[in-house]
Each structure stands twice: as C-alpha cells, then as structure tokens.
Structure 1
C-alpha cells in the first residue's frame, strides 16, 4: 500500500467524519459532498492528495435540491486537490436507470457557483454548489 505511505489516519466515526469535513473545507469543496455514516477510518496523504474513507456499509443519499440519488460505497478513494477530486472510486450517481461511477468532481471558481461531476463514461453533469451544502 505505497499510496497510503505517510498518511494521517483517523479511526472511528466522529474523528473520521471530522477529518473528512476538514479536508473538504481545506480544498474548497462543498461540506455536504460526502454524507457519511458509520465511518471506520479516514486517511489522507498530504504530499499526493490521496484520500480514503472506509464505512461499515454503502450509503445512499438523496440531494433534494437537485433530486439526485447518490450511492457512496463502503470504500471511497480519490485524489483531492483545490476544488477537485480526481480518480474517485466508490461513488455512483443515479442517472435514469443506470448507476454510472463518478470519476471526477470539480468546483468552478466563483462567481458561477457550479460543481461538475464527470462519470467514467465521459458524461458530465453540472449543478449549483448550494445543492451540496452541509445538511442538504
């Protein structure tokens, strides 16, 4: 597991959730982007931006403002950088009858206030950032 070398690791729901939220804040990503439940572990490697989240089970979350159902796997990994998560694994968004995996999330600089989700199939969806505010 070389990609986990030098990582900061937090165990347990409270500490893990706190760390995940602080990473979102630090990299200017919306706080409600990762609605996690029963977190086992969150890890982050500052030098590479590699992040992983382990939860006891898959979580489905409905973002009401945009009527979008998103599935978060028991293991989520990706590379975090300013206003972006690349090579994301473990997150799927319901699109009609399909669940294409989301591979890339990026947030525009203000003032557009848009967030873009790119699936591995090359489909990009754009939504207002407010839809992913904490508590949505």
Structure 2
C-alpha cells in the first residue's frame, strides 16, 4: 500500500491540522504526548499533520523533502515529503519516510524508541533489526535546552 493510500485509509476519525504554524505546534504536542524528544522531527515546511488516536497512526506532510544534521551526534537525516508512523508511549514504529546517512548510503529507519527512560537513550532501528542508540539530548530543541538551563 502506498503512503498516500495508507494516509487516506486512516483519515476517518483522525485529527487533521493544516497550516505551517498549527502543524508545527501539533507535531511538538504529539512528541510530548508520546514522551519523545521535540527535536526528533525537525520538519521546516509542514502543511498537514494527522493523528488517528484509535489506531495510533500519524502522518506529517511537508512541501518537499528535507534534510537535517543533528550536530550533537554528527548524523544527517532525510525526511520525505510524507512521513508516517504508528505511535505509542516512547515509540514510533512502522516508520516510513525517514532515512539516515551511514557512510556512503542512506538507510531507511523503521523504528525509534526509548526502551528505558532512565537510560536517557533513544534507539533507531532498520527493517533488518539493526539499531544504534544515541543520547536523547541530541534530539532536543533549542527551547528545551534553554528551559533545562533555566531550571524550568
């Protein structure tokens, strides 16, 4: 099933938001709700965000593909125009539209999770089950860092 067909099949009963500002706000709210770092999906040109709470399906549509460098860990990540996943507490699974650059190739990510909140590490896995873990702090937004420094 194509990404668009998957989104269409999940629209009924979903919360759907449009417009850059509202979509950014809702994507941050979603990440907070599922206890994942707010900087995990730095999508600059969001046009639509949808969340079907009954199934846990989420989609994020942006104008065009985007790449982001997570400087703290030296990783470049590519986000397709449509990113989809099934979410639950501290996890995004069956992820589509996110790739990480590893040496000279792009590797599709299929799962990201925080298995143990005490460890303060987030693990990213491929469909083959190969995974890497990084500090959660590498995916926090500048606002999160400032509020942490201010003791809020």
TM-score, length of structure 1 as denominator length: 0.96
Report 1 or 2 for greater relative contact order, CA contacts < 8 Å, sequence distance ≥ 6. Answer: 1
Q: Could you say which structure has the higher helix fraction?
A: 2
Q: Select between 13-22 and 120-129 the one with higher mean Cα deviation.
A: 120-129
Match of 1:100 in 2: 107
Residue 110 in structure 1 maps to residue 114 in structure 2: no
Match of 2:54 in 1: 47
Residues 4, 50 of structure 1: 8 Å contact kept: no
Residues 51, 79 of structure 1: 8 Å contact kept: yes
Once the two structures are superposed, what CA deviation does each residue of 1:14-48 show, in whole Å capped at 9, x if it has no partner? Answer: 01111110000000000000001111100000111
Match of 2:25 in 1: 18
Mapped to 2, the partners of 1:52 and 1:102 lie a distance apart of 15
* Matched residue SS, 1:16: helix
Give the ranges of 4+ consecutive aligned residues of structure 1 lying more than 3 Å apart after TM superposition.
none
Match of 2:148 in 1: none
Mapped to 1, the partners of 2:32 and 2:70 lie a distance apart of 19
Mapped to 1, the partners of 2:11 and 2:116 lie a distance apart of 30
Aligned residues: 136
Match of 2:5 in 1: none
TM-score, length of structure 2 as denominator length: 0.86
Q: Select between 104-113 and 5-14 the one with higher mean Cα deviation.
A: 104-113
* Matched residue SS, 1:33: coil
* Matched residue SS, 1:29: coil
Say which of 86, 99, 106 aligns to 2:93: 86
Gaps of 5+ in 1: none
